[in-house]
Amino acid sequence: MYALVHQNQVILTQGNWNPIMFNNVLAEECGVSKRVYVADEENVPLIFNEDTKILKYFDLKPNYNGRTEWIDGPVYEITNNHVVGNYVIKPLDLDIAKGNLKNQLPGLRYGKEIQTIQAIVQNKFVYIKTDRDTRAILSANALTCGDSYVNWKFDDVWMQLTKDDLVSLLQQINNATQEAYDWEYSKMLEIDNCKTLEQIDQVVIHQQITTLR
């Protein structure tokens, strides 16, 4: 990484050597007409005048718990040969930590909502998706089926489903999807009831979802 220093202040940092960006900032903000090129990466530190230089940059970003902490910085330490970016780990505001965690719940709930479940129809075990399209098709068929039946394919097995079969499948799917919504609601309450960041850190929301098919 590299840092452009002007009048003892860091005005640009770059993860990779980027002559175009450096040249633009040198000309527009530092009043330096000299240009740098790709090959100049090997010559860093580059000293243009007593006020302006390009130095190696070391970003000392620490590991931290993003659920309960944030990092403040960087504060730059400038030497003749390099720049170091230092950070301070600080605790998150409790309400912010709660909000960040609750924002993850809808996506996780949706992942639980659209699983494949094992259901029973005509005394047989079948696997069926619980996504909204499948639920909509089953609902439409249940409304229009009457005393007839619909052909439905479970994996490689075809079955003729009556209205009662369709309603039964819908109920089993609805039970599974309701569990997902109940999970989200219970986690929201659990987060709301947290009084400390330590309690926030103990809330478990990432659990492996078992995919049957």
- H/E segment holding residue 177: helix 163-192
pLDDT > 80? residue 210: no
Alpha-carbon dihedral angle through residues 96, 101, 102, 108, given to the nearest 10 degrees: 160
Per-residue confidence (pLDDT) for residue 105, from 0 to 100: 97
* C-alpha of 196 from chain center: 24
pLDDT > 60? residue 111: yes
Residue-wise DSSP of 105-163 = HHHHHHHHHT-EEEEEETTEEEEEE-SHHHHHHHHHHHHH-TTS-EEEEETTEEEEE-H
pLDDT > 60? residue 212: no
Q: Which burial class, exposed, middle or buried, applies to 41 when counting CB atoms under 10 A from its CB (0-12, 13-18, 19+)? A: middle
Q: Buried b / exposed e across 139-155, counting CB within 10 Å, b at 16+?
A: eebbeebeeeebebebe
Q: What would the mean pLDDT of 188-209 be, rounded to a whole number?
A: 90
Per-residue confidence (pLDDT) for residue 208, from 0 to 100: 54
- Segment 57-105, tens digit of pLDDT: 999 999 999 999 999 999 999 999 999 999 999 999 999 999 999 999 9
Under DSSP, is residue 37 helix (H, G, I), strand (E, B) or coil? coil
The band of 211, judged by pLDDT with boundaries at 50, 70 and 90, is: very low
Residue-wise DSSP of 52-102 = EEEEEEEEEPPP--TTTEEEEEEEEEE-SSEEEEEEEEEEPPHHHHHHHHH
- Segment 137-181, tens digit of pLDDT: 999 999 998 999 999 999 889 999 999 999 999 999 999 999 999
Q: What would the mean pLDDT of 15-44 be, rounded to a whole number?
A: 96
Q: What would the mean pLDDT of 8-15 be, rounded to a whole number?
A: 96
The residue among 112 and 210 whose pLDDT is bigger is 112
Q: Answer whether 78's CB lies under 8 Å from 21's CB.
A: no
Q: What would the mean pLDDT of 31-38 be, rounded to a whole number?
A: 95
Q: Answer whether 127's CB lies under 8 Å from 119's CB.
A: yes
- Segment 122-137, tens digit of pLDDT: 999 999 999 999 999 9
